[in-house]
Every structure is written in C-alpha cells, then in structure tokens.
Amino acid sequence: MATKIKAIKCPQCGSEKHEQLDEKRYRCKSCGTEFYIDDDDININVNHHYEYQSQSSSSLNKLLSSGTKIGIVAMLAPIAIVFILFYSALTTDHSKSGFLGMSDDAISVRDDYKSVRLIVYNGRPCYFYILNRDFSLGYGDDNPKYVDGYYYGFRDVESGKILKERLLFSEKELRDHNFRVNFDQSPPLFFYQAHRYFSILNDKSIYEMDPKTLTYTDVSKTLFKGKEAMNVGISEVKYLDRDYGEGFIINNNLSATYYYFPATNRLYTEEAFKYARELTPNQLNGEIRDTTYLELQEENVSETSSKGGMLRLWKIHAKFHLGDPQDFGFYNWIQKTFTQERGERLVSATPLTSWFTGFGGKILYRDSNYIFITFRPTISEDASSVFQLHDAYGNTLWTQALNKFSEFKSVMLYNNKLWFCGALDSSEGRDILQIYGFDLKDGKYKIYNTLQEEYKIKAK
C-alpha cells in the first residue's frame, strides 16, 4: 500500500514546517523532533531525544558556544570576587578585618633588632634590646594600641618572658620632626671602672641602661652637670677607643673637643687628654693599679697576602690609670710585637701560644682567667665559625666549630656558661639572631632563645 499523507504535521508540536531527511524520515523545524511514517498503516513514530538548535533561539545562543560561555563565566568570576573583597574592606574596621594580612584575632608584627646586650637580672641571664617594630595594619590606619616605632626592652633568655618593654620613639614622632636615628653606637658598653652601661643614640645623646632597675634613660644633661663647657649642648659624641680609657669624645656646639671619663667624672680638653695619657706611673699620685689580660695577635701568612691567617695569644702586664686616660696601644705594627714608647705603663708582654691557623680572629670575651675567641679555619666564603676558649696560660680548654656566623652581638660569662648572641649566615632571607649557652667546662652548647623577627599577636 502506498504512503499517502495530505499534510504531515509534527506529532510533538503540530507544526507543518519540516524537512525530509530521507524517504521516510522527517525533522520538525520548530522543535527539532524527528519522526517517520510506517508503510503499512501510516503510524507516526517519534524520536524525542534528538538535540537540535532551533532557528528561533536567541542571538546570544547563536553567537556563543558552550565553551565560550564557560570562558566568560571564568573571566567574570574573579572580577566579582575582587569587587566583593574591596567592598568588604572599605566597609569594615581594618583593625579587626581579616583583609590586608590579618585574621580576625591576629596582627602581623615585624621586628628589626638594632641592639642586643646580654645582662644579669635577679640572678638570671637576660638581654636588653632596641628594635624597630612595624605592625601590619591597613594603610592609613592609626590605632593607639599598635604604634610603629623604636622600642627598648628586657627579656629573660631561658623563659623568653618580656620583663619590660617601652616605646622609645614612635614612627610618627620621627616623621613629624624629620628625625633619623643612628644606631651604630647603640649597643650598651659596660664601663668596668664606673660599673655602668652607656649607649649612644644618633651620635648626640648618651643613654644609660640599668639592669637592676630595667631602665634606659637619656643622661646627656645630667652626666655633665656642672661642666660649663657642655652648657652649649652636644654636637657629636663617640666612644673613646678602649686603648685610651673608658670614656667619650665629645664635640660641643662651639666645635670644641673634650674627653669625658664617667668613673672619675673628669672632663679633659684635647691638650690635657694627650698630656694625661702619657704620664708615668710615678706621676699618677697613687691612682694606679696592675692589670693582666690576654691579647690576640694576627699576621698574614706571607708578605704577598693581606688576609691574615696566623694567630697567636699574648699575656700583657701593664699599669692602669684608674678611670682616666690610658695609652694601651702597645702593639707595634712594624716590629710585630708589643712595645712601649711613652708613659712607661707596659710592664711585660709574653707570647703564650705558638702560631696557629685562623682567619678573621676576634676576641668575644676576656677577663683575668679566660679569653674566648672566634675565627674561620680557611678563607672560603662558606668556612665555618670556630669558637675557642683558652685559660690564662694560653691552654686551649675546648673548641667548637659551628656554621658560619654573620653577626656577633654580645657575650657574657655567668653561672659557668658563656652566653653568646649571634646570627648564622643564611643563604636565604635574613640572618636571625639566637642566644647560645656554651658550657664553660667542655664547650657543649644549647640554643636558648631565638629573637623572632616576624610573628603574630592576638588583637586587643
């Protein structure tokens, strides 16, 4: 029987618009349904699963493939997220916001240590420090609880507990007064005869650090009370070379140079200082005592080398002018030995050891019983740092070789330990200061404290 259909309509939507796929199959142009006709009884069979893009679809669907749509969504999504974050940052208190590097309950802090001095407080090893602190608040934020600037403080070495901390200068104060702080001479020096710690800030101000009261005080005016030459103010102050005594070189605002010695509270003119340091023991009116100490000599391994490499210990016996000008520059670089040209204060100089190999030798600590030194065994860039303790007779008590150190901040002997603050040379990032304790008997050491430079604190 022949197939006879007057009008072929889509069985799905009823449309008469269609295209013929083959002799018996058709596809609706309106909805995309495929259908075909049986030869026997004109049954219409429908395929409902054919996927077809209708010609009446929107122009956007015509232009965009599904891949293009996904690409646009991927591009727009980050923009929307950034917009939401910035809107949140603008409408939220930065001191509590997690944006700009902070969580809701923590603030990032960065400390840059300028000075460290090991001390003893209440029978415990502690250290004094000056640092530059930066709180990571939002740009333009001004929170009185978190003040950027320079702080000083005291901390227990073993427990890490902060005993006291105070703001020295705020960043705002320095900026408002166009003031720059020079910390080159800020590490406190102990003046043995005066029994006091002094520190110099910005080459103009003298501070005193007191480990008993945990204070750090500007004594620039009180120190020179009654000294008329200092009434005009200080132009510049520097530590006096220890070979010439425990004191300061001071230029006042009239450009006159003076030498001040805290132990005797005496202020010398330049002419008087030069005269006093050359006085013989017989001319010192009893203000003298004997002193014995160890010295480290370093020479080049050959005439064509300038890198050192030969070390030797000496024992020096001299007459010491109590609290006043000295002339302890006994070493003669030409003769390569210790001699006395003036003042008659050198009694004797005796080599205690034979020459031994070492580069960049430094005295870290010495007293009448010990000398603690460091040196590098070779001139290699990555050579280790050797730490060595000798007794008063030059005998080597112990030697420890550690990785290369870039900084040697402070050393003290207390409770049968040599406490040492220094920083290992790091090939990555900043060199972090740590405090070591070397056992006086065998040199075994332990790291007691790490001076963290980056950390977080809980928001107040």
pLDDT attached to residue 272: 96
Q: Are residues 236 and 306 in the same domain?
A: no
Bridge-partner residues for 131, per DSSP? 113, 151
Do residues 375 and 392 lie in contact, with contact meaning Cβ atoms separated by under 8 Å? no
- Per the structure, the count of domains in the chain is 3
Q: In this structure, is residue 99 part of a structural domain?
A: no
Q: 89 lies in a domain? A: no
Residue 351 corresponds to which tokens in the numbers above?
Answer: 């080599």
Name the pTM for this structure.
Answer: 0.75
* Same-domain status, 213 and 232: yes
- Return the residue matching tokens 């030869």: 39
Q: List the beta bridge partners of residue 266.
A: 261
Burial class (CB in 10 A: 0-12, 13-18, 19+), 195: exposed
Domain co-membership, 260 together with 329: no
Pair 54, 110 in one domain: no
Which residue range forms the structural domain that includes residue 31?
Answer: 18-63
240 assigned to some structural domain: yes
| Nearest-angstrom CA–CA distance, 293 and 119 | 22
Q: For residues 151 and 170, give the distance between their C-alpha atoms in angstroms, rounded to a whole number.
A: 8
What is the C-alpha to C-alpha distance for residues 177 and 188, in angstroms, rounded to an integer?
Answer: 26
Paired residues of 25 in beta bridges: 36
- Comparing CA positions, the residue from 310, 318, 261, 254 lying closest to residue 288 is 318
Please tell me whether residues 112 and 256 are part of one structural domain: yes
- If asked whether residues 276 and 194 sit together in one domain, one would say yes
Domain end call among 280, 300, 332: 280
Per-residue pLDDT of the chain (460 residues; tens, 9 = 90+): 444 444 677 776 777 777 777 777 777 876 777 766 665 544 455 454 444 343 333 333 433 344 444 454 455 555 555 444 444 444 444 333 333 344 557 889 999 999 999 999 999 999 999 999 999 865 555 677 889 999 999 999 999 999 999 999 999 999 988 888 888 889 999 999 999 999 999 889 999 999 999 999 999 999 999 999 999 999 999 999 999 999 999 999 999 999 999 999 999 999 999 999 999 988 988 888 999 999 999 999 988 888 899 999 999 999 988 889 998 888 887 778 888 777 889 999 999 999 999 999 999 999 989 999 999 999 998 999 999 999 999 999 999 999 999 999 999 999 999 999 999 998 777 899 999 999 999 999 999 999 999 999 888 7
> Is 379:338 a contact under the CB 8 Å cutoff?
no
Residue 123 lies in a domain: yes
Do 270 and 348 lie in a common domain? no
Cα–Cα distance for residue pair 105/111, rounded to 1 Å? 20
**Does one domain contain both 134 and 261?**
yes
Contact (CB, 8 A) for 208 and 219: yes
Query: How many angstroms separate the Cα of 409 from the Cα of each of 150, 383, 412?
Result: 19, 20, 11
Quick check: 203 and 180 in contact, CB under 8 A? no
The domain boundary, picked from 247, 280, 313, lies at 280
pLDDT of residue 103: 52
Q: Are residues 364 and 305 in the same domain?
A: yes
Three-state SS for the chain is CCCCCCCCCCCCCCCCCEEECCCCEEEECCCCCEEEECCCCCCEEEECCCCCCCCCCCHHHHHCCHHHHHHHHHHHHHHHHHHHHHHHHHCCCCCCCCCCCCECCEEEEEEEEEEEEEEEECCEEEEEEEEEEEECCCCCCCCCCCCCEEEEEEEECCCCCEEEEEEEEEHHHHHHCCCCCCCCCCCCEEECCCCEEEEEECCCEEEEEECCCCEEEECCCHHHCCCHHHCCCEEEEEECCHHHCCCEEEEECCCCEEEEECCCCEEEEHHHHHHHCCCCHHHCCCCEEEEEEEEEEEEECCCCCCCCEEEEEEEEEEEEECCCCCCCCCEECCCCEECCCCCCCEEEEEECCCCEEEEEEEEEEECCCEEEEEEECCCCCCCCEEEEEEECCCCEEEEEEECCEEEEEEEEEECCEEEEEEEECCCCCCCCEEEEEEECCCCCEEEEEECCCEEEEECC
What pLDDT is stored for residue 182 in this prediction? 85
